[in-house]
Amino acid sequence: MSTDLMPNRYRPGETDLDRRESELIARRDDVLGASYRLQYRRPVHFVRGEGMWLYDPDGRAYLDFYNNVPSLGHCHPEVNAAMAEQAGRISANTRYLEPKLVDYAERLVDTFANELDRVVFTCTGSESNDLALRIARFASGKEGVIVSSYAYHGTSAATAAVSPNLGDAVKLSPFVRMVSLPEPAGVPEAQAADFFEAQIRSAITDLNRRGIGVAALLIDSIFSSDGVWADPPGFIAGGATVVREAGGLVIADEVQPGFGRTGSHMWGFERHRIVPDLVTLGKPMGNGFPIGAVVGRRAPMEQFGATARYSNTFAGNTVGIATADAVLTILQRDQIPQKALAMSQRLRAGLEKIAKQHHGVRAIRNAGLFFGIDMGPEDAPAAGRRAMALDVVNAMRDDGVLISTTGANEDALKVRPPLVCQAEHVDLFLASMEQALIKVAG
């Protein structure tokens, strides 16, 4: 392995946070709102990023296998150059004529099925989902929203109200109905589609009985917050049809699975062989620059736009568009999704080998370069499985490799590296995970 892939990864004798980090934490606690959280038991402090790596103030490098925001890697020089060049000329909004805005919009919708031919820009994925819900409710004339049982769709008031993942203290809207997913419910793959469709039908029946009706089925097609339960491909199609028959719209939340994350497709919903009515975009669209979008069918988009106002000073600004255009260019030119698929296969094979040797790995799930890895034996207490997952995450952090957890019990490792990871990075991750399992599980 070339030395530039693992620079200064280990400092002998490293123990607790030094005074510098402790003082910074204290200053944070004195000024930031209580809702903020730090990652890891020993929080990390980064001053620079490059490709797959993040660097702390002492120059120690951490391999990032968690951050899907800079999907082309941290501080991609071509993306940064496009951003800086546009910022050095003008940053303007969508109320002025701008050819690059139209050029990018045309290029973006060309990556979708022909039915999805309109786009409205936003600043974040939360805002995209918020706007999509407004459109769906306006077009359907109804209020009900169906989501998966541990979904996360954003932090605005509207999206938090449809995000069970945010915890008991965040109250769900009375217009929300949650559906279980086939695989965590123990449903055989051959019955998955029927199970999911039956869940949708039951939710619609209840919404109709209460005079609410269904406005939308809102799904993250990789079901990332539920624990990455993306299989079998196609299981959501029947449920989507039932929603449309009831007058609702299908919204695909592509903030996590979109822009080639699944490898085999540009958009996660394509694995399920559906064409949604609305698609929401965010995080990786600008490789770290805040930009998002709603792409949709003409009819609901025009129906909403003709009578309801949506205007955002920053959404679709020229700097964001230039940045997003560079991201899309690199994704397509360098065949990033296809390369990511090859790396996901290498990662999957390595994880399966580890699972045979370490009983701590209960199950492995993935769609492209997004993995959920269940920790702990099935018969172990939920708290024990969760503790094991957190121990592995923190052991890997101490070894200089970054991941996190996901799922209702937080006992699944969440692994989603930038799409530019190479074989050397995969092998380094696997070696670190194996060492963590030895340390944690023995």
pLDDT, residue 39, reads: 87
Taking the C-alpha atoms of residue 324 and residue 238, their distance in angstroms, rounded to an integer, is 33
Q: What's residue 196's pLDDT?
A: 97
Distance, in Å, from the CA atom of 371 to the CA atom of 364, rounded to the nearest integer, reads 7
Last residue of a domain, one of 304, 333, 362: 333
Same domain, 180 and 275: yes
Tokens of 15: 């123990």
pLDDT recorded at residue 320? 96
Same domain, 398 and 378: yes
Looking at the 3D structure of the chain, how many domains does it have? 2
434/356 same-domain check? yes
Residue 31: is it exposed, middle or buried by C-beta count within 10 angstroms (0-12/13-18/19+)?
A: exposed
Whether residues 370 and 402 fall in one domain: yes
* 8 lies in the same domain as 88: no
Which residues of the chain have a pLDDT value below 70? 1-18, 442
Please provide the DSSP assignment of 243-294 as one string. Answer: HHHTT-EEEEE-TTTTTTTTSS-SSGGGGGT---SEEEE-GGGGTTS--EEE
- Looking at residue 17, what is its pLDDT? 56
Q: Rg of the chain over CA atoms, in angstroms? A: 22
| 325 and 430 co-located in one domain | no
Same domain for 144 and 29? no
Whether 228 and 299 map to the same domain: the answer is: yes
pLDDT of 282: 96
* Last residue within a domain, chosen from 309, 333, 357: 333
Q: Which domain holds residue 400?
A: 3-68+336-441
Helix (H) / strand (E) element for 50: namely: strand 48-50
So what's the pLDDT on residue 14? 45
Tokens of 171: 């109250």
Q: Say which amino acid occupies 30.
A: D
The enclosing H or E element of 219 equals strand 214-219
Residues 91 and 188 in one domain: yes
- Say if strands 278-281 and 292-297 run parallel, antiparallel, or are unpaired: antiparallel
Do 49 and 117 belong together in one domain?
no
CATH of the domain at 342: 3.90.1150.10
Do residues 51 and 420 lie in contact, with contact meaning Cβ atoms separated by under 8 Å?
yes
pLDDT of residue 3: 30
Is 367 in the same domain as 265? Answer: no
Question: What pTM was computed for the model?
Answer: 0.92
| pLDDT tens column, 94-150 | 888 899 999 999 999 999 999 999 999 999 999 999 999 999 999 999 999 999 999
The reply to whether omega before 99 is within 30° of 0 (cis) is no
Give the largest Cα separation in the chain, rounded: 65
State how far the Cα of 242 lies from the Cα of 291, in Å rounded to an integer.
32
Q: Output the domain CATH number for residue 110.
A: 3.40.640.10
- Residue ending a domain, choose from 318, 333, 348: 333
> Are residues 104 and 238 both part of a single domain?
yes
Consecutive H or E run containing 22: helix 19-31
